Structures are given as C-alpha cells and as structure tokens.
Amino acid sequence: MIACMYSCNTIFSVREGRGKMIMEPRLYTTSADYVYQELRHRIITKQLKPGQRLPEVNIAVQMGVSRTPVREALRRLSSEGLVLIIPNSGARLASPTKREMEDTYAVREQLECISVATAATRISERNLRRLEDAILEEEKAFEEKNLELYLEVNENFHKIIADASGNRVLAEFVENILARTNAYVVFYDPFYDIVDNPSIDQHKAIAQALKDRDREKAVELMKEHLKLSLVGLNKPS
C-alpha cells in the first residue's frame, strides 16, 4: 500500500512493513521524476503485472500531476525495457517472450565475454576494490530483500568490469543490454522467494579470476554465470 504526501520538494512514501506504516522520505527534482520513481517501485515490487495497461489519465489522477510528466516517465521506463508504448493504443507493462529473453542473453554473453576478457589484462587495483565493495553491497541488498537496490548493485558489478576493459563503446553496449535484462529479472526472477543466491558466489569467483589475471577462467565463469542467470528466470511459455 502506497500513499504520497508533498512537503516542499520532498514526497513521503508511506509503506506497510511488518504490520507497521513506515514513512520514507524521497527527494524528487521534477514531477516526471516522481512519477518515474513511483511507477518503477510498483513494477519492481510486483504491484503491477507484465502486460498490464498503464493509462496516462488514471496515473495522472492517482499521483496528482498532469499527463505531461506521466508521458515523460513512461518514455523513460520504456527505454529501460519495463514499459511498452504502442502508437494509438497507449502504454502497458512489457511482457517479454521466452525467445526474446534467450536472444537478449545470447547477445549479452558475447558482449560481456569480450568485456571480462579485456578487463582481465587491464583491470586496476582500484577497480578490483570496487568489485569487492559491489559484492558486499549485493549481499546486503539480498539479505534485506531489496530488489531495487539489488538490481542497482548487481548492474554496477558488471559495469565496473566493462569500464575496466578501457573500451568506452563496449561499456556503452554493456550498459544498454544490462538495462534490458534487468527488466527480465523484475518480471520473472523469483527474487522474493529464494533463500540462497548463487549469483553472489559467481560474482566472487569472477572477481577472483580478474584479480589473478586469468583471462580464460574469467571468460568461462562469465559464460556460466549468464547461462545460470537465464535458467533461473521463470520464463513465460
């Protein structure tokens, strides 16, 4: 359950947790940012379902804004693969097919294997420390069952490796494909139901291979990690 109250540039999101109402202050710079963050939160916490319609008018009324910031927020969510905007029909939550997910992960595997192979010969001590920090944050996010934070730190782990490759074009492609596969995690990953998360141990192993400058091992581990990530999704039939 979510309610929002305005106070200057602060919006207090009131959420129910462990039988109590928890008020969480969030700062937004624009109405569009507010709508984007709130819709994204509802998608990630699975309050909205794949394929569900998102009428601009209804959202504007619920959030007390005009349709313009709603339209802008929906475009932003569309760029992340979370929302599908259909001309003359409106917006709806994306509902990726099994084939689309498999094709996307196939492309991601190619990009990230190049990324990790190059990083194995170039990664700095600073970036190795950043990977270690990202894994610690990932463990904390999983323990707290905070999917929003988990997606952020998980994505950061892979972006650090791409940055360490020294290839800016490659890093941009990796960042774009990560946004797309993150949408699949939101829709189909059993994050809230699982007790153990093998992805964290896989990240530790990849980080160790990079520390050892073991290019072949790093590539092998990345391939296995991405294959298991795809298998772990509850893919639509």
C-beta of residue 81 within 8 angstroms of C-beta of residue 180: yes
pLDDT tens-place string over residues 26-57: 567 899 999 999 998 899 888 888 899 999 99
Burial of 150 (0-12, 13-18, 19+ CB in 10 A): buried
Query: What tens-digit pLDDT sequence spans the chain (237 residues)?
Result: 333 433 334 444 434 333 343 445 556 789 999 999 999 889 988 888 889 999 999 999 999 999 999 999 999 999 888 999 999 899 999 998 999 999 999 999 999 999 999 999 999 999 999 999 999 999 999 999 998 899 999 999 999 999 999 999 999 999 999 988 988 988 888 888 888 899 999 999 999 999 999 999 999 999 999 999 999 888 776
pLDDT tens-place string over residues 197-211: 999 999 999 999 999
Confidence at residue 237, expressed as pLDDT on a 0 to 100 scale: 65
- Domains in the chain: ranges and CATH: 2-93 (1.10.10.10), 98-231 (1.20.120.530)
